[in-house]
Every structure is written in C-alpha cells, then in structure tokens.
Structure 1
Amino acid sequence: MVRLRARPAPPDTSKALSRQRVADILGLVAPPRERVLWHMLYESSARAEEVLMLDVPDLDAANRCAVVTRKGGARDVIAWQTGTARLLPRLLAGRRTGPVFLTDRRAKPSVALVDVDPTTGRARLSYRRAAELFETHTTGLDDGPYTLHQLRHSRLTHAAEDGASTPILMKLSGHTSVRSLAKYARISDEGFVKWQAENDPAARRRPDRR
C-alpha cells in the first residue's frame, strides 16, 4: 500500500504580516537600496511598481512625500515616515536626476534613456529583481519568504487596526473604490486581541479609593 505524503503548504503571500514580523524585516542587514525600498513600501503602502518608477525629481524629501503614477495612470501623492527619511539621503548620495532605485551594473545600450541615471550610467531597478532580492533576504524568517506586496498589505491592515478612517485608507492605498479596501481592512488576530484588551471595561475601571 502506497502512502501519500501531504505536501507542505506554500507560504500565504496574500495576508498581512504582524507588526513584529515587519519590524524584523525592516531590521534585516541589507544594502541601503533594499532598506529604503522596504521602508518606503511599508510606510507609504504604495505598490512596488509605483515606487520603483520614482525619479529623484519626484521626491519632496523635506516633506517626506513624492508624486507617483498610480495603477490606471492617475498621478497621486504618497508619503513616508522617519525610517525612510533617515535612510534616503544615504541612498541618493547627492544625486538630483535619474531613477531613485538603480541596478548595481551599468545599463545595457537597449535600455531607454528615461530608465538610466545619466551620472552613473546604471539602469532603473526592475520589479522582478527587487522581488527576487526581497525573497532571498526573507527566506530565513518564519513562514518566509515573503512578497513585496505583503509590505503594502500589512501597512493598510495595521492602519485599519489603528482606527484610520475610510478616506485615509483610500488615500494610502490609491484605491478609488471602497469595495477594493475590503481585503486590506480585515483585522488580524494580533490586532483583534489588542483591540479586545484596550476596550475591556474592567481594565479601564479605576481602582476604588479607600
């Protein structure tokens, strides 16, 4: 009799990560390019494709924001927080032109000039390569590897758990339909337990004065 062995379930790349897991990822030892990309994806909750298409002139570093081209072609503003703000200057190293995220090697002659940094001659980092690097760096973590999309998904879920309004969630996500937010606004087990604890009437009750 032949026994069939159950195949291990592949990692769930559609769910949000816990806050601790996100902190673990953002704390990994990695080159500045990867660290800036991961921080920006989580803090802004923008799509990876949108962030990778950023050019240096699109950035407003002083106000921690940038103009991106959303899915469908609309121009919109994304914003980031302290983690990205601290790392970004190191990545740019004074550059004022070209793509924000560059490859390690010089661009091939076939690459369009709009995707090449005129100072270094390096090309714009592709989504495929960025995803491969993220997978490589997160393979050793529990339930890893993870996907770049999970950083966006996690940020939106965490924002919903923290009480962000529907308009704020729509602005963060770049969606124009409330229905599209449904999968991101599902509260995680971690967030549910936290909410229960914070909203426990007995825990909030002041001790009797004697």
Structure 2
Amino acid sequence: MGTVHALPARTPAPTVREAAGTYLATIADAGTRRTYGVVLDRLAAHYGPDAHLAALADPDRLAAWFTGQWGDSAARTWNTRMNALHSATGYWRQQGWLVDDPTVRLRMRPTPADRDRALSRDQVDALLGDKAPALRDRVLWHLLYETAARAEEALRLDVRDLDMPARTARTRRKGGARDVIAWQTGTARLLPRLLAGRRSGPVFLTDRRARPSVAVADVDPTTGRARLSYRRAAELFEEHTVRVLGERATLHQLRHSALTHAAEDGASTPMLMALSGHTSVRSLAKYARPSAESLARWQAERDPARR
C-alpha cells in the first residue's frame, strides 16, 4: 500500500488592502510610493476591508470603478493612476495572487506635449515677495527656486547639512547620490531667522510636537517637533498660489521655473546639470526649454522693424 503524504496547507490570498501594502513596500522612491498609494487606498476602500484579491477578477467592475474615479481627469492624471494600478496588478500576478490581468478594459490616453509648466518671472516674484505666509514656508519656497532642488531633497535637510557662510548644503539626490545645492540672497536672509540658533535636527519642522511613532532622526531635539512632510508642504504652497496667482501651482514648478529661467539667462548645459542634479542631458531638456514669454522677448529684440 502506498504512503499517504499530507499536502501543505494552502496560503490564503491576501486581502486587497494587504496586497496593496505589500506592493507599496517594494517601492523605494517616496514620491512614487505616495502617488501609487492614492490609487491603491481608494481601490481597497471600494472593495471593502475583507475583500480578497479574487474580487478583482471581474475586469468590467474594475474598469467601471476606475473610470468613476478618474474618468473626468486630464490625460496625464489618468495615465499616472493607470500606471499605479497596472504596476500593482502585475506584481500581484507575479506572486501568484492573480491569474489574469484585471486591467484589460483600461487603456492609456494620448497626452499632448506640455510646454508651459514653468512659472513666469513675475509670478515667481509675486509668490516669493508675499510676506504673509509663515517664515518656514517662505524659506522653503525661496530655497526651492534658488537651488532648483526637488522638494524632497530640501525637506530632508538637517541643520548639520548646512554651510551657512558658503550658502550651500549637502543633500541626497533622487536615486541616493550625495550632492551639494547652493542658494542666493533671498534664502540667506531668511534662513538664520528660521533656525534661531538651532544646531541639529531637521531644517523644516511641523507646527506641533512629534508623535511618539516618529523616527528620532525626524524630530528636532530642541523643540520636539517633527520634520515637515512633503504632503503638508505641497498643500500650503498650492493654497498660497491660488490666493496670490488665482490658480494652482505645485512645488515642482519652482524647480522647473528655476531651470527654465537659468537656461534663458544663458547657463551652460554643464551648469544646468549641476544645478538640477540630472545625470542625463535628455532628462534635463524638458526643464531647460525657454518659455513662451522668453521666446517673444527674444523675437522682439531681433525684429528688423525695430532698427
């Protein structure tokens, strides 16, 4: 008589929320993780806290939910959300949690070239010249425009990273490379007031004391306040731009504007790459494109009828 072997117990498929958390933990870049998390949080909320991934097997239901969420969005937003969903479901299939692709009913949308993301110099002057916002926020906005740094690179700065006399700071670029950013007079005048003699801790702090769960490295030992988050910094800037400009702008547009304006002023490609932290000229190109305002001024200055 043959030997009877017990089959290993089958591991149940995770819930949608558990699977979302597992996938997000594989994403190293904080910005991407935050963006993709928006989609997956809503997905988990729609299917319910106890729903397993098998609930995604109906592609029509998934497509109807996704279209209801972002059907009226711009093509770029739709595609960003689609990338998140497609990437997550692909990962879940690799784990054996899904058999088929539940996103088969969804398609990317064509996006027109975006050639006007930089703010004009007048707009930047209006935003940075307004003295109503809190000192912390004014310092951050000046720093982002003057250094052309990414918001994440500025927000992760600690006081010990700063070289105040040289007007420079050591930061970690996207991808983890260590680099130096340099600022100008606007930041140099405001930054000492913000630090108020502090010698350690994050440069940019929240308004309240940190919760016990916050990492020690993200808490100022003097005040007990936590490092300012990207989400809160972005919200404050967008509120400011609506009030001052009458339209919404993003923290990223300060970086974009700085590089565009530097290119218009004749900065060389090596200097622009040092300013931006890019390692590829191709990646830099979309930022260093002269604005429509600059193009019109250049044409007017060379108009034969003016001579």
**TM norm. shorter chain > 0.5:** yes
Report runs of 4+ in structure 1 exceeding 6 Å deviation.
Answer: none
Aligned residue pair count: 197
Once the two structures are superposed, the pairs formed by residues 57-76 of structure 1 within 5 Å of their partners are 57-76=160-179
1:83 counterpart = 2:186 = yes
Question: In the superposition, relative to structure 1, how do residues 168 and 105 fare at CA in structure 2: closer, same or farther (>3 Å)?
Answer: same
Higher relative contact order (CA 8 A, sep 6+): 1
Match of 1:48 among 151, 154, 168: 151
User: Helix, strand or coil for the counterpart of 2:243?
Assistant: coil
Paired with 1:201 and 1:156, the residues of 2 have a C-alpha distance of 30
1:19 counterpart = 2:121 = yes
Conserved 8 A contact 1:138-1:145: yes
Conserved 8 A contact 1:99-1:124: yes
Paired with 2:283 and 2:116, the residues of 1 have a C-alpha distance of 14
Q: Percent identity?
A: 73
Paired with 1:200 and 1:14, the residues of 2 have a C-alpha distance of 24
- Tell me what 1:3 maps to: none
Conserved 8 A contact 1:14-1:150: no
Q: What is the letter of the counterpart of residue 191 of structure 1?
A: S
Q: Gaps spanning 5+ residues in structure 1: where?
A: 1-6, 206-210
User: Helix, strand or coil for the counterpart of 1:139?
Assistant: helix
Conserved 8 A contact 1:13-1:146: no
User: Helix, strand or coil for the counterpart of 1:71?
Assistant: coil
1:120 counterpart = 2:223 = yes
TM-score (norm 2): 0.61
| Structure 1 residue 197: Cα displacement | 3.6
1:179 counterpart = 2:282 = yes
1:132 counterpart = 2:235 = yes
Conserved 8 A contact 2:167-2:182: yes
User: Helix, strand or coil for the counterpart of 2:208?
Assistant: strand
Once the two structures are superposed, the pairs formed by residues 97-116 of structure 1 within 5 Å of their partners are 97-116=200-219
TM-score (norm 1): 0.88
| Structure 1 residue 142: Cα displacement | 3.5
- Tell me what 2:254 maps to: 151
Q: Gaps spanning 5+ residues in structure 2: where?
A: 1-71, 75-113
| Structure 1 residue 201: Cα displacement | 6.5
Match of 2:137 among 12, 24, 34: 34
